[in-house]
Homo-oligomer: A and B are copies of this chain.
Amino acid sequence: MPRRTSRDIRSDSMIDVLHAVLSAGETTRNDLMRSTGLSPATVVTIVNELIEADVLAETKVSAGRVGRPTSIFGMNAARGRILGIDVAETYVRATMFDTALNQVSYTESARDEHVLEPGSIVETIGLVVDELLQSEGVCREGVLGAGISLPGLIQEPSGMAVVVPNWEWRSVELDRLRERVGLPLVIDNPLKAMVNAERWLGRGRSAASLATVNLGTGVGAGIVLEGEVLRGATNSAGEWGHSLLMLDGRLCRCGRRGCVEAYIGVPGIQHTLRELAPSHPLADVELQSDFISLLAHAAESSTPDDAARETVARTAYYLGSALADLVAVVNPDVVTLTGWTTWALGGQLLSPARERMRSQSPGRAGAAVELEISAVRGNPVVTGIAMIALERSLVDAGLLTTRIPVVL
């Protein structure tokens, strides 16, 4: 098993500093000592090293009332561009960030989910990247790296592979991807990308252990333990969406029965509504995003819609029950909710789901755990995978020692 070295310890301290800088926006060495708890000598050494490497930039020098002027600094946004690319079943989205992780621009392209030929998927990714770079007038040399989130990325004894139902990529396809995109690449799966955003930009700044739960068409959890993303033996830890809510229950799109996703994924929520009221006007809305917004609206409307309200109540009950399982096994400090079901319906789900989660968690784990809506907005998969690309540039520069699973 991999053992940690003294370089890892220095890397951990540097991560604490970068966390604090990203959190504060602009900060000083004195503030960093307070917020990180690191020794003055460590903070000074690390900050100087990061300024030397152009990762941090001094923005101004504030002359305090007494003593020497104080240097104020933040992430150096001008070091280059970073791309975060989310390859989903029905679209490819590429977002450009600066090196302070501010979003600059994005391009999205619809994808026919029935087209499974790797060459075609690679070409779509390549075209989206080309278009984004062109529209921003940025050449490839101006991009430090790109992160690509691919569904189903796993680790096998023979190496990394991308395995999703009906498409399977190995080194040949990954080589083709690297050549077509023409940028330093990292790839990871969406749950790992998403929780990495929470780790760097959300609750990971203050909690030692956390789970981030994505609610959308599919559902899943990313897990961080003592500051590190839990990957598992095949990089597939966190597949809580396909753990059991109900043995032999509803058929899930993964082919098994009774998975959490079959109840709280968007099609599962619509299934609940159809069980309650088969002829409800929302029962046959085709677009999932429309369905969720309309449901959120109907459940809160002043015109009573009992079926919509009961659907939301049952969804919260299922969600809270399933979250209690995550608490039972992993016992995290905090669970955050993210994804587009959360943005549409999270306000209505949060309080009843929290109550159910706490009452169903064994022992006192429930009383100790927080349930919150993630403060990381936008598409956390894109942000998280871009953060991994940025982290990789810091590993390449010899600054961090994070193990990044696939670097192409």
Give the interface of A toward B (CB within 8 A).
1-6, 8-9, 12-13, 16, 152, 154, 156, 163, 208-209, 221, 223, 225-227, 230-240, 242-247, 249, 254, 256, 318, 321-322, 324-326, 328-333, 360, 362-365, 368-369
Contacts and interface: CB of A to CB of B under 8 A. Distances in A.
A357 B237 CA distance: 15
Contacts of A329: 221, 223, 237-240, 243, 325-326, 329-330
B12 A8 contact: no
B9 A233 contact: no
Contact of A236 (B5, B245, B363): B363
Contacts of A3: 9, 12-13, 16
Contact of A12 (B4, B235, B333, B363): B4
A270 B163 CA distance: 41
A115 B110 CA distance: 67
Contacts of A249: 247
A237 B154 contact: no
Given A240-B328, A243-B328, A329-B239, A225 B234 contact: no
A339 to B, nearest CB: 18
Nearest to A8: B4
Contacts of A237: 329-331
Contact of A239 (B5, B154, B318, B328): B328
Contact of A333 (B5, B233, B240): B233
Nearest to A235: B331
Nearest to A164: B363
26 contacts: A1-B227, A4-B8, A4-B9, A4-B12, A9-B9, A163-B364, A209-B233, A221-B329, A225-B230, A231-B331, A232-B332, A233-B331, A233-B332, A233-B365, A236-B362, A236-B365, A237-B331, A238-B331, A239-B363, A243-B243, A243-B325, A244-B321, A325-B325, A325-B329, A329-B329, A330-B330
Contacts of A326: 329
Nearest to A151: B363
Given A247-B321, A322-B244, A328-B239, A154 B364 contact: yes
A238 B322 CA distance: 15
A239 B6 contact: no
Contacts of A225: 225, 230
Contacts of A234: 331, 363-365, 368
Nearest to A360: B256
Given A232-B330, A326-B329, A329-B329, 16 more contacts: A6-B6, A152-B363, A156-B368, A163-B363, A209-B232, A225-B230, A233-B365, A234-B331, A237-B331, A238-B329, A244-B244, A244-B246, A246-B246, A256-B360, A256-B362, A330-B330
B243 A246 contact: no
A244 to B, nearest CB: 5
Nearest to A317: B247
A331 B209 contact: no
A221 to B, nearest CB: 7
B4 A4 contact: yes
A4 B232 CA distance: 21
A385 to B, nearest CB: 19
A88 to B, nearest CB: 17
